[in-house]
Structure 1
Amino acid sequence: MASQPSSVDMPRISASYRIETPLDPERAALAMAGEQSSGTFLKLAGETDALRERHAARVEAVSSLMACDTPSLPGCLSGDTYQQADVTLSWPLENIGASLSNLMATILGNLTELRELSGFRLTDIALPDTFIKAMPGPQFSVSGTRQLAGVDRGPLVGTIIKPSVGLSPEETAALVKQLVEAGIDFIKDDELIADPPYSPLAERVPAVMRVIEDHAQRTGRKPMYAFNITGDLDEMRQRHDLVRDHGGTCVMASVNWIGMGSLTALRRHAQLPIHGHRNGWGLFYRHPQLGIDYRAYQTLLRLAGADHLHVNGLGSKFAEADASVIDSARACLTPLLEAPDRDDCAMPVFSSAQTIHQVPATFAALKSTDLIYTCGGGIMGHPDGVASGCRGIRAAWDATSRGISLEEYAKQEPDLAVALRAFSRPFSG
């Protein structure tokens, strides 16, 4: 009989946290490790030394930070002060196997409810190569998306169907006709419309794809449309096949509401890129002492198979700080596994009140054009029409990538000049 590998030889997963606690942080970290592995509130006969040696979580690091007089979250143990700390825990991979859902149950699970913690935030995760390779991961990523959309360089210039709700399939197709003739690269359904009675996918998909296929036949260029197929798993598989069978090149899902298991299963079925919409993200990030940092969040979604992931945009209408937006985009473009034949990045999707004005700052901070830049009003609100809106956005990216100011470039690009006058500066700096 082959001998079992020792605990020293086993690959491990690790997770990092920002915690707040009325206890000594070392003691709180031990409580976290016990809760999420072999321990409970009292010692049980089955929790042998051998079992703990093989399966217990380990406290890898604890670093104390600032203290405060009041707890950030209710329901915790009382204390004189509440100490913040960075904590790293690790677990043997064999505790969960190749399962994203069970990974989440392990690194999050009951930790969010421990009375020992008055603050809890997952900040990052590190996974062994064996786990990463066992996950489906992005199927198309950046290179495959570019190939399908026919965009070799620069960002994919995109937009969202607006108004978000209320358009019939025929009205949606008419708007798509305007957009593709204007030169758009990428169009997406809004997250608020999937398969409603007034615009069922069975009618919307063929209506939209007739327009796109006709445009492709005439021009040799086929813009990408992300149809919102959000639903239960059986519905999403059927809707994916509907899009595929009509020549579509992308599907979209609201990743927070379908769940990690369904996203993974959809990816294993899919033959098209999956556009991951993160609506509801504010639940995870808006309180500094509760939730998940995007670095950890996007890792999980990419492992499950998302090819594109939303990151908000600079100077947007939402609460997220600009620095967080850029850090999120950089995380999406950082390989999970360094391998010459592997492309497992997710294309970051910038959105929310984006116009020509945010282009220079976005490029300067990200130093990449591997992104989808979606503008609703920033394209369709151009005074000279949708085609001018598209040309204005392209001119802004062309100028920025050449190191030319928008104002200087606008002297030779009238659509950009009009956009500079028409659109106000971003909501935030």
Structure 2
Amino acid sequence: MRITRPVQLTACLAATLAIFTTTLQSTAAPTDPVTVAAQPVAGSSNVKVEGSRIILGDAPATVGSTEIKQRSGLAELVPVRFDAATSAVVVGYTVGTPDGSSAEVDVRAWVKDKWTEWTPARSGTPTALPGASDQVQLRIIVSAPPTGGSPWVGDLTVLSTDKIDPSRMSVQAAPLQSRVFATREGLVGGTTANGHVIVNRDHFVALPSRRGLSGNGSGTYSVKVCTASRCAFEPVWDVGPWNTKDDYWNPSAIREMWKDLPQGRPEAQAAYQNGYNGGKDQFGRIVANPAGIDLADGTFWDALALTNNAWVDVTYLWTGDGGRGTVSISSGYLNVRNSPNSSGAVVGMAGKSAQVTVECQTTGSSVTGSQGTSNVWLRVHTGMYVAKAYISAGTFGAC
């Protein structure tokens, strides 16, 4: 089950995205604000640009599995680089929110060769980064009722600053793992929160916060989901179940809501099992199951071989360090096998663009894939391997 589904990118904007995908904005001195151009990059959906403004696009509200329906758009903007690393930034912007609509600006930073999680940024207020960085990126989320005016965000600037409480900075040595209840999303033909149109036997997951939402087609934020015998590596492409501001994988100091709950415990689980928040979600609805993650059909049925909703072990890969690779395929999934051999039994799957953990590498059968022909296999979990011929990754130590 899900809560909200923004719709697809307007055709006009989609045709121009490639121009900005690899462009980096000009540098500026740390004391000077940088004007952030209204230039959405690949992964954006249902927005249009008018001058310095990002405006909700014209696609209609989508029909989801709940009564909460809205028109929504998402725009990731061209990254900004500073001359020196900073521990915090001040984001400036103006907004227009007619007819009960809303607009949000988020920021993330490039730390230890990867993007951190998205963090809401209030205009004119210092926002702490998870680690010192000289490169940041802004994201716009605009939402509105099915009818009425369209919200917008404009006049974006970003300024580096060190005037922030360093205790709010949070970097984990290892990614968080928690045991949560998983439900099947289904909804083939629907549209996810990042603009992806759900296909039959799809591969992605939904988590109840946009802080860990990947752009359309991206696996920047990915999870490893495991049962006792199988694992799936999937990108986070949707928001849900139940809540939309429950980043339960974060420690209390930076958790957006429900700060009194322990790290790793979804609000829906606490509501269902213990009557937390009166047994209701953030929208006041009675929570009917303890779900903390939704699984697309291909993840649910094929990768994990589930037949019913079940408890699973989830690792939120972006929350810590460690070896990583990216699944480089044009569509579908990559098989995870129980040996470094093409004839090994399938014990899981990895979806398109997903990040995979890499423990070590070994040699096995030769495979030809998107990365060429190779006999190198990567161990991604105990007793589980993927062919490096389909993984964009560096070199790792021997198993």
TM norm. shorter chain > 0.5 = no
**Larger proportion of strand:** 2
Query: Under a length normalisation based on structure 2, what TM-score does the superposition of the two structures give?
Result: 0.25
Which of structures 1 and 2 has the bigger CA Rg?
A: 1
**Larger proportion of helix:** 1
